[in-house]
Amino acid sequence: MRGFLRPDGRKGIRNLVLVGYLVECAHHVAREIAQAFREQEVHLVGFPGCYPNAYALRVMTRLCTHPNVGAVLLVSLGCEGFDRSGLRQAVEATGRPVETLVIQDAGGTRKTIAAGRAWVTGALATLGAASAVSMGMDELVVGTICGGSDGTSGLTANPAIGRTFDLLVAEGAACLFEETGELIGCEHHMAARAATPELGAEIIRSVAKAARYYKTLGHGSFAAGNAHGGLTTLEEKSMGAYAKSGASRIRGLLKPGDLPPHGGLYLLDMISDGEVRFGFPNINDNVEIADLIACGSHVILFSTGRGSVVGSAISPVIKVCANPDTHRRMREDMDVDAGRILEGRGTLDEVGREIYARVRAAASGERTASESLGHQEFTLLYKSFEPIGPACLPR
C-alpha cells in the first residue's frame, strides 16, 4: 500500500483537491468549479444550511483535513452563518494549500467560477508533484455500512465483511461499524464484546438513544425494499447488519469527527444527543458514509443486496454485493460478488479474503467500481452531539 504523508503524520490513499461550499447558495458555483475537472481528482462536498451548527463545522473541518485531501477550496456566498475563517484556519494549520472565495466579494457567479478554476488548476499541479510513501495496515482506517439490504445481506456480504474486519484488525487497522439504529436488538451481545463493562454500558445507552429517536420519528431504519427482499423486522435486519462487525473485541465508541486513537474495532454512534431534533439523523446512506469519513475512514466497505450504486466524495467505496441475482443485473457497479456463496461458488472466508485484497488494492491506488463510474455522493445535515465520555475509549 502507498500513501501521501500529511503534516499531522497521517497518510492518505488519495491526493485530491476538495471543493467545499458553505451554504446551498454557493453550491452551484462550487459545482461548476469542480465539474471542470471531472476527469481529475477534484471532489465536491458542502453544507446546505445557513444557520451555524457545531457538528457541521466539525465534520467539514475533519473532511477538509482528511488524509485523502491534499488541498482545499472553500466557496462562500458571504452572508451565511458558517464559520468560514475558523474552517480555513484549521486547514491552514495542517499546512495544506487552502483558498476561500466569497461570491459576494468576488463579483458574482462567473468571476468566482473563473477564480476557482484557476486556483484548482494550480493546486492540482502542486499535488501532482507529491510523491507517495509506503503505508502500513496499522495506518489505515476502514469503515463499513450496508445499504439496500435484503434477506441475502446478512447471509453473505455482511458476515464476509466481518471476516475482512477480523483480518484487518489482526493487522492493526482501525475498523469502524456504525448506525446504532440498525443494531437495535443486538445491544447486549455488543456490550458483551466491549473492552470494558463501562464501554458496554455506553454501547447499550447509545442503542437505547437510537430506539427512542426512531420511535419518536415514527419508524425505524427499515424500508419497504427491505421487506420485499425478505427481511420482516428491524431486529432481524439488525442481526444481519451486525455481522459486518466481525468477531473482534470492541475497543471504543466514537461520534462523528472522533478519530480512532489506535487500531481495533470501534462502534460509531451517529444519532444526535439530547432531544429529538433536526428530523431523521440519517436520511440516506451517504450521511452515514460522511460521518465514517469524518472519523478518518480511508475506505468504505459497502454491503448491498438490493443493489445500491452510490460512492462517496473523498474516500473510495468498495461495493460488496450480497445477492447473486443483483450481481448479474448490476455487475458493473459491484467490486465483489459475495452472493456466489449462496450458489456454492465460494465460502465466507474466501470472500472475506477477496474483500481484504480489494482494500489493499484501493489503498495502493486502484480505482473501485463506484470511483470509475464517477460516483461522489455526499450529504451533510444538522445534528448535535455531546463529547464522548472517558468510558468510550478505554486504554
Partner 1 sequence: MASSEHQPDSPERTVLDGPGTTDRRLILLSPQDNVCVACTHLAAGDTVVIDGAAVTLAERIPLGHKLARRRIRAGETITKYGAPIGSATGDIAAGAHVHLHNLKSEYIPSFGMDAIEGSAGGRGQ
Nearest distance, CB of residue 393 and partner 1, angstroms: 16
Cα–Cα distances (Å) from 1 to 135, 292, 320, in that order, read 5, 21, 21
Comparison of 344 and 387: residue with beta carbon closer to partner 1: 344
Q: Which residue has the cell 478518518?
A: 296
Comparison of 64 and 234: residue with beta carbon closer to partner 1: 234
Contacts of 190 (CB under 8 A, 6+ apart): 183, 200, 203, 204, 207, 242, 245, 250, 267
Q: Give 145's strand partners.
A: 302
Nearest distance, CB of residue 352 and partner 1, angstroms: 10
Nearest distance, CB of residue 305 and partner 1, angstroms: 7
Comparison of 118 and 217: residue with beta carbon closer to partner 1: 217
CB distance 20 to 60 below 8 Å? yes
| CA–CA gap between residue 76 and residue 12 (Å, rounded) | 26
Q: Calculate ∠ Cα 118-119-121, nearest 5°.
A: 65
Contacts of 291 (CB under 8 A, 6+ apart): 59, 178, 256, 268, 270
Nearest distance, CB of residue 124 and partner 1, angstroms: 35
Q: Which amino acid is at 375?
A: H
Nearest distance, CB of residue 303 and partner 1, angstroms: 10
Nearest distance, CB of residue 231 and partner 1, angstroms: 8
Comparison of 72 and 169: residue with beta carbon closer to partner 1: 169
Comparison of 57 and 243: residue with beta carbon closer to partner 1: 243
Q: How many residues does the chain have?
A: 395
Q: Which residue has the cell 450529504?
A: 379
Nearest distance, CB of residue 361 and partner 1, angstroms: 21
Nearest distance, CB of residue 129 and partner 1, angstroms: 40
Start-to-end Cα distance in the chain: 28
**3-class SS string, 170-204:** HCCCEEEEECHHHCCCCHHHHHHCECCHHHHHHHH
Comparison of 101 and 341: residue with beta carbon closer to partner 1: 341
Comparison of 64 and 322: residue with beta carbon closer to partner 1: 322
Comparison of 34 and 186: residue with beta carbon closer to partner 1: 186
CB distance 195 to 394 below 8 Å? yes
> Cell digits for 183?
443494531
